[in-house]
Every structure is written in structure tokens, then in C-alpha cells.
Amino acid sequence: MVVPERGVDVTFTVDEGQTMALTGPNGSGKSTVLSALAGWLRPETGHAQLGDRTLFDEHTWIPARRRNVGYLTQDPLLFPHLTAEANVAFGLARAGVVGRRNRRDVARDWLGRVGVGQLASRRPGEMSGGQAQRTAIARVLASGPELVLLDEPLSALDAQVVPQIRELLAEVLTGRTTVLVTHHEADVVALADAATTIPAPPPSA
């Protein structure tokens, strides 16, 4: 894909069920690539294919809400007024899971899988950074996204919880098609099957 106004020109393929790490210096366009894959930004040229669907090319543009793509950022983007369970269930409603009880059960199951089952009724402000990021991981994965995008998912966490959350990600991302943006070699080693480096942007005139 090419985003000329941001100096981005990159080509890569992620095999189904594998994780591709995107690395590169600050400003090289890693987050821009994720935005294009998520459907938040339309590249000027280029294309992206997810399975047999074209996400975008010169003729096609599938809007973000119809892509079935999950996005996890470094700050857990949770609704502050909703409990952990309601945050996860909210994403399920958007993904088309019918029935409140169903959504609650799936949300509880996922909170358990990421190790915060006992915090289901807490709001994000009553959680540690690591607990909130675990909840955000549950929210992103519970709806069964076809593609998972991770933008520096460990960067905002206290150093002592990073290894645990990295281990959790390694476990829950197994078999999921994922693009991971990271600056950290340890993330590439622990989480990625392959890596693509975006070169430094050309110096601005």
C-alpha cells in the first residue's frame, strides 16, 4: 500500500494464522499501515486482501465496521463508565452476537481466559494498567476478528507486568492472523512468525 503524503510504501503478506511484526524507525509509517488495514485511512494507491476479500484497492473500499478487524492500541480503549464485562459485551453487540445473556456469558468467558474473570464488575478506573489491558485484549478477541492489529500493545504498561501480558498475547494470538507494530525485539521474538521493516522516511525538504 502507498500513502504518499505520509511517505509510506510497503508490501507484505501475512499467512493465515500467523503474526507479522512491522518494525521501523519513528515516523516510518507503521501506525499508518494499521490505520489503512483497519479502515480508518484510505491509501492513495495499493491494495489489501483479507482471505478472499479485498479490503481496499482502486475500486473498492470496505468501511471499518464491515472489516471484522480487531485493533488493540497501547492504551486500552475502554469505556470508563462501563464495567469490564460490559466493555467486552459492547464489542460483541457490534459484532452481531444476539442476546444479552449470550453476550454476558461470552464476555465472562473471555475475561476468565485473559486472567481477570474476578474483575468483571469493575470499571477501568478501578483496575491496574495490566488488568485494563487484559480486559482490552478480551474485548478485541471476543468478537472473533478475522485480522488482529496490535499497535505497541505493551508500551504503556509498567515494566513488571510486560512479561506476563506478552505471554498472554502469545497464547491468545496462536492461530490468529495478526499484524503487530513494535519497537521491541523481545516482542518480535515472542510473538511474531515473520517481520517486515519499514525504512526510515525520506528527509523532509
Ligand X SMILES: Nc1ncnc2c1ncn2[C@@H]1O[C@H](COP(=O)(O)OP(=O)(O)OP(=O)(O)O)[C@@H](O)[C@H]1O
Out of 11, 26, 58, 203, the only residue in the binding site for ligand X (CB under 6 A) is 26
Work out how close the CB of 151 gets to ligand X at its nearest, in angstroms, rounded to a whole number: 8
Would you say 130 and 138 are in contact if contact means Cβ atoms under 8 Å apart? no
- Work out whether 182 is an interface residue with ligand X (CB under 6 A): no
Work out how close the CB of 202 gets to ligand X at its nearest, in angstroms, rounded to a whole number: 10
Q: Alpha-carbon distance 111 to 51, whole Å?
A: 29
Q: Is 59 exposed, middle or buried (0-12, 13-18, 19+ CB in 10 A)?
A: exposed
Nearest to 108 by CA among 88, 78, 81: 88
4 C-beta neighbours (distance < 10 Å), count: 10
Q: Alpha-carbon distance 78 to 135, whole Å?
A: 8
Query: How far is C-alpha 31 from the geometric centre of its chain's CA atoms?
Result: 11
Work out how close the CB of 30 gets to ligand X at its nearest, in angstroms, rounded to a whole number: 4
Work out how close the CB of 37 gets to ligand X at its nearest, in angstroms, rounded to a whole number: 12
Q: Which of residues 4-23 bind ligand X (CB under 6 A)?
A: 6-7
- Work out whether 29 is an interface residue with ligand X (CB under 6 A): yes
- Work out whether 103 is an interface residue with ligand X (CB under 6 A): no
Out of 10, 19, 21, 28, the only residue in the binding site for ligand X (CB under 6 A) is 28
- Work out whether 166 is an interface residue with ligand X (CB under 6 A): no
Read off φ and ψ for residue 2, nearest 5 degrees: -130, 125
Q: Alpha-carbon distance 183 to 205, whole Å?
A: 26
Q: Cβ closer to ligand X: 29 or 39?
A: 29
- Work out whether 83 is an interface residue with ligand X (CB under 6 A): no
Q: Cβ closer to ligand X: 125 or 202?
A: 202
Out of 14, 20, 21, 31, the only residue in the binding site for ligand X (CB under 6 A) is 31
What does the binding site for ligand X look like in residue numbers (CB under 6 A)?
6-7, 24, 26-32, 201
